[in-house]
A and B are shown apart, each in its own frame.
Chain A
Amino acid sequence: MIRLLYFASLRDRLGLATEEVAPDIDQLDVAKLRSWLSQRGGTWAEVFGTARGVLAAVNQELAGPGTQVRDGDEVGFFPPVTGG
């Protein structure tokens, strides 16, 4: 299982803060996970169908599209940060 977390405006748009998923995909990485999520359609396709505006972290480290995602990992998705 992979634990997904959604934050801030992304969580509001998706109406979901967290879920557990188990995509049946070889060599899963962030790009493949995004594409898998976008196949849910609707808002999911809007959010994850384009590369812009959504950042990802794997196990709480900023991740690129090619960062691998393994069973047991935590993946966070969020908009560009606005702290400070």
Chain B
Amino acid sequence: MHSSIQIQSEPLDPWSIQRELVSGQTGSGALVSFVGLMRDFNQGDAVLGMELEHYPGMTEKALERILEEAGRRWRLDGVRVVHRIGALHPGDPIVLVCVTSAHRGEAFAACEFVIDYLKTRAPFWKKELTPAGERWVEARESDARAERRWGSGSTEDEGLPATRRAGAEKGL
């Protein structure tokens, strides 16, 4: 499985990234992608813009761990995650997760797994600009529930950094 992670402040083009992922990969029968878009409303308020912050270094490690776990659970050909940081406007892609596999079942499952885990484990924070001013977005219980559906994995064990780090050093 080849995988890559990218955090960028530049706009994200989901189409060119997907083309790149499948280029030359004629053994893959399935490409499944998820694109998260910036909504212009949240909790009943208009949202004019957004600022995305992250924890440089930890973000990449957390994402690597999630992709490794996906690679253990399903037979995948490739996984790519690209996440925006900085200033965003309504309609902008925030995140792209794309997965290739020989068959669609594994690609669908792995793609959903990666975005569910990213939502609760990767250190990103959103600040919304509403007509009333700025506010930090609060974490949702529905995201925690979505993660729990997948059951415990080896990345689940908080407080066991040594074992988790051993996996990370293998690289991707």
Which residues in chain A, 33-74, are within 8 Å of chain B measured between CB atoms? 57-67
Assess whether B139 is in contact with A84, with CB atoms less than 8 Å apart.
Answer: no
Answer whether A82 and B137 are a contact pair too, CB < 8 Å, given A7-B123, A61-B61, A67-B159: yes
The closest CB in chain A to the CB of B158 belongs to: A64
From A59, A60, A64, residue with most partner B Cβ within 10 Å: A60
Cβ of B80 under 8 Å from chain A: no
Question: In the complex, what residue of chain A is closest to B157 when comparing beta carbons?
Answer: A64
A81 touches B123 (CB 8 A): yes
**A64 (CB) vs chain B CBs: closest residue:** B159
B158 touches A82 (CB 8 A): no
Residues of chain A contacted by B138 (CB below 8 angstroms)? 80, 82
CB distance from A10 to the nearest CB of B (A): 9
Most B CB contacts (10 A, CB to CB) among A8, A64, A78, A82 go to A82
Chain B residue numbers with a CB within 8 Å of A64 are 158-159
Q: By the criterion CB–CB under 8 Å, are B127 and A63 in contact?
A: no
Contact segment of B13-21, B25-33, B67-75, B112-120: B112-120
Given A8-B127, A8-B136; A84-B161 close (CB under 8 Å): no
Pairwise interchain contact A84-B58, C-beta atoms closer than 8 A: no
B136: chain A residues within 8 A (beta carbon): 8-9, 12, 79, 82
B76 at the interface (CB under 8 A from A): no
By a CB distance below 8 angstroms, the chain A residues around B158 are: 62-64
Residues of B within 8 A of A15 (CB): none
Contacts of A67 in B (CB 8 A): 159, 161
Find A82's partner among B55, B125, B159 (CB 8 Å cutoff). B125
List CB contacts (< 8 Å) of B113-145 with chain A.
115, 118-127, 136-140, 143
Chain B residues whose CB sits within 8 angstroms of the CB of A63 once the complex forms: 158-159, 161
Name the contact of B139 in the complex, choosing from A7, A12, A76, A81 (C-beta under 8 A).
A81
Chain B residue with Cβ nearest A8: B125
Known A8-B127, A60-B55; 16 more pairs at CB < 8 Å: A5-B55, A8-B136, A57-B123, A58-B161, A62-B62, A65-B159, A66-B159, A78-B55, A79-B136, A80-B138, A81-B123, A83-B52, A83-B95, A83-B126, A84-B124, A84-B143
Q: Give the interface of A toward B (CB within 8 A).
A: 5, 7-9, 12, 57-67, 76, 78-84
